[in-house]
């Protein structure tokens, strides 16, 4: 388990470095992998870190934000801070 957590931490750092180097497509792939692993581990903190870095990368590169928004909403839902999409549509 410690090795997998270390991998997520490494992927987050790599994604940030790729973003800063202007390699946005690679950064997004790396950050998505980090988010997927964090999700499987149930690590909300690392999922949130991946979502925030993913959003920063899409914003900085002026890329479509739908995937970033989806990750951010997933984290907010896990924290209980927003209603499910279906609940929002009924209001």
Mean pLDDT of 54-70: 95
Residue 74 tokens read as 């997933």
Angle between helices 2-20 and 44-60 (to 10 degrees): 10
pLDDT at residue 86 is higher than 60: no
Tens of pLDDT, residue by residue over 13-25, are 999 999 999 999 9
pTM: 0.84
Give buried/exposed letters for 61-70 (b at 16+ CB in 10 A, else e): eeeeeebbee
């Amino acid at each position: 388990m410690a090795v997998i957590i270390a991998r997520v931490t490494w992927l987050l750092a790599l994604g940030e470095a790729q973003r800063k180097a202007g390699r946005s497509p690679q950064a997004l792939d790396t950050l998505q992998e980090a988010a997927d692993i964090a999700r499987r581990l149930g690590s909300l903190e690392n999922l949130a870190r991946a979502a925030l870095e993913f959003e920063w990368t899409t914003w900085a590169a002026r890329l479509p934000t739908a995937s970033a928004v989806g990750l951010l909403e997933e984290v907010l839902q896990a924290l209980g801070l927003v209603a499910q999409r279906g609940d929002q549509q009924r209001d």
